[in-house]
Structure 1
Amino acid sequence: METLKSIIQQGEHQQLDFKFRIDDAKKIARTLSAFANTDGGRLLIGVKDNGKITGIDPSEEIHMIDAAVDMYCKPKLSFQSRVWQEDMRLVLEITVQPTGEKPVSSPDEEGKWRVYVRRKDHTLLANKILLNVWKQEKKPNAKPEKFGDEETHLLGLIAENEPVTLSKLYRSSKLPKNRIDHLMVLFICWKLINMEISEQGTFYTTVID
Structure 2
Amino acid sequence: MTLQEVTRLARQGEGLHIEFKKKVTHPEKIVREVIALANTEGGHLLVGVDDNGTVSGQRYVEEDVYVLNKAIKEMIRPLVDFKHFVIPISEKKGVAVYHFYRSPKRPHYLYEEGRKRSFVRVEDRTVQASKEVWEILRRGKKEKDIIFNYGEKETKLMQALGEREAITLKEYSKVAQLPRFIASKTLVRLVLANVLQVIPQEQEDLFKLKVN
Same fold (TM over 0.5): yes
Question: How many Å apart are 1:200 and its aligned residue?
Answer: 6.7
In the alignment, which residue of structure 2 is the partner of 1:61? 64
In the alignment, which residue of structure 2 is the partner of 1:142? 146
In the alignment, which residue of structure 2 is the partner of 1:70? 73
Select which of 39, 42, 61 maps to 2:41: 39
Does the aligned pair in 1 maintain the 2:198–2:207 contact within 8 Å? yes
Aligned length: 207
Looking at structure 2, the residues matched to 8 and 75 of structure 1 have their Cα atoms a distance apart, in angstroms, of 29
More displaced stretch, 16-25 vs 50-59: 50-59
Looking at structure 1, the residues matched to 179 and 202 of structure 2 have their Cα atoms a distance apart, in angstroms, of 27
Does the aligned pair in 1 maintain the 2:133–2:200 contact within 8 Å? no
Does the aligned pair in 2 maintain the 1:25–1:67 contact within 8 Å? no
More displaced stretch, 49-58 vs 24-33: 49-58
Looking at structure 2, the residues matched to 123 and 97 of structure 1 have their Cα atoms a distance apart, in angstroms, of 16
Structure 1 residues 96 and 140: CA distance shift in structure 2, 3 A: closer
State the one-letter code of the partner of 1:76.
Answer: L
Select which of 97, 102, 121 maps to 1:98: 102
Task: Report the aligned-residue RMSD.
Answer: 2.3
Does the aligned pair in 1 maintain the 2:47–2:95 contact within 8 Å? yes
Percentage of pairs with the same residue: 25
Looking at structure 2, the residues matched to 46 and 59 of structure 1 have their Cα atoms a distance apart, in angstroms, of 11
Looking at structure 2, the residues matched to 135 and 95 of structure 1 have their Cα atoms a distance apart, in angstroms, of 22
Select which of 21, 27, 49 maps to 1:19: 21
CA distances 1:80-128 after superposition (whole Å, capped 9, x unpaired):
11122346641111111111111100146x6743000111111111111
Structure 1 residues 30 and 111: CA distance shift in structure 2, 3 A: farther
Structure 1 residues 111 and 121: CA distance shift in structure 2, 3 A: farther
User: Does 2:195 align with 1:206?
Assistant: no
Looking at structure 2, the residues matched to 84 and 111 of structure 1 have their Cα atoms a distance apart, in angstroms, of 38
> Could you list the runs of 5+ residues in structure 2 that have no partner in the other structure?
none
Q: What secondary structure does 2:76 align onto?
A: coil
Does the aligned pair in 1 maintain the 2:170–2:180 contact within 8 Å? no
In the alignment, which residue of structure 1 is the partner of 2:120? 117
| TM superposition score normalised by structure 2 | 0.87
Does the aligned pair in 1 maintain the 2:83–2:99 contact within 8 Å? yes
Select which of 169, 173, 176 maps to 2:176: 173
Q: What secondary structure does 1:100 align onto?
A: coil
Does the aligned pair in 1 maintain the 2:46–2:95 contact within 8 Å? yes
